[in-house]
Every structure is written in C-alpha cells, then in structure tokens.
Amino acid sequence: MYFITAATYLKQHFFRTRDALDALRNSLFVEAAKHECWLQAWALFANHYHLIVSCADGERVRQMLVQLHKDSAIDMNRADGAKGRRVWFQFWDVLLTNERSWLVRLRYTHENAVHHRLVERATNYPWCSASWFERSAPGSFVKTVGRMKIDRVKVYDDFAEVMLPQ
C-alpha cells in the first residue's frame, strides 16, 4: 500500500480546467488498470495530487506514475500549444505499513479538497474518491475512516494556492 503525492513543476496550475482534470483522472484510471494497481483513494488538483495505491510490486506503481506523468504532460502541452514544456516536478511515496496509517491517509486524501477550501463537503469535489468511497464501501468502514484524526498527519501538501477548475 502506497501513499503518493505528486506536484506540477513550480506548482503551476496546469490542470486548471474541468476538461484537464477529467483527462488526468481518466488517464490515472487507465494506467492503474494497465499496471495492475488498485486505486483506493485519489484527489486531483490543478497543481498536485494525492493517491493511495495498492499493488503487489512497487516497481509497477513507479511505472504507472511515470507513464501517467508522461502521457498527461504530452496531452496538456498539446492542448496549450507548449511542446516540450515541463509539467510534472516529482512524486513522493510512502509505504504504508500499518492499518492506522492507511486509514488516516484515506481520510486525508478524501478530505483534501476541503482542506484546500475548494468545497465544504468532500463528496462535492468531482476529482476525488470521496463520493465513490461513500457509495462503495461498507457504511461501518466509511464511519471508521471518518473518525480518523488527520490534524497531525505529516504530508507534503504545500499548495496554498489551489484553485477550482474553470
């Protein structure tokens, strides 16, 4: 189980439109399936994202992210007419080795749009897994995750100027 944060180059808002975020989300789903990685949570923004990914092989996770960044950068540069522009900076991953750490990061990822003050309720943000999670997971598990305290979780999330897509 991996918790991943990735940032755009210089924290630029490359994925600033609904179409750009939709395309990023679709590419993420395609690459996860292709690399046999299970997305447990995601939150995608104009200049960064957070994921929780389960995969039997960490190398497949890395390959998935490399391909996602490559394809989304090509698509974004094509859309903006900016061939060769650097889009992604890097990604950070944490291997989640205990259940509590996993549960806390599930809630953190789902609540990240609220953290950035984009929505009042996480399920209202279409580029995160919060609404899917509430619909798909057993109610008792949703409540367990919802009780996790996230105020002390240490996550690189220095993206103060996050914006709603146009």
Residue pair 113/119 in contact (Cβ under 8 Å)? The answer is yes
Residue 83 Cα distances to 7, 77, 128, 148, angstroms:
20, 5, 29, 43
10 Å CB burial of residue 24 (0-12, 13-18, 19+) is buried
**Pairwise pLDDT comparison (28 vs 94), residue with the higher score:** 28
Is residue 161 a contact partner of residue 119, using CB atoms and an 8 Å limit? no
HSE, side-chain direction, 13 A CA sphere, residue 6: 27
Q: What is the mean pLDDT of residues 54-72?
A: 95
pLDDT for residue 161: 56
pLDDT classification of 12: cutoffs 50, 70, 90? very high
Kindly report, residue by residue over 81-140, the tens digit of the pLDDT: 999 999 999 898 889 999 999 999 999 999 999 988 899 999 999 999 999 999 999 999
In the chain, the N- to C-terminal Cα span, in Å, equals 33
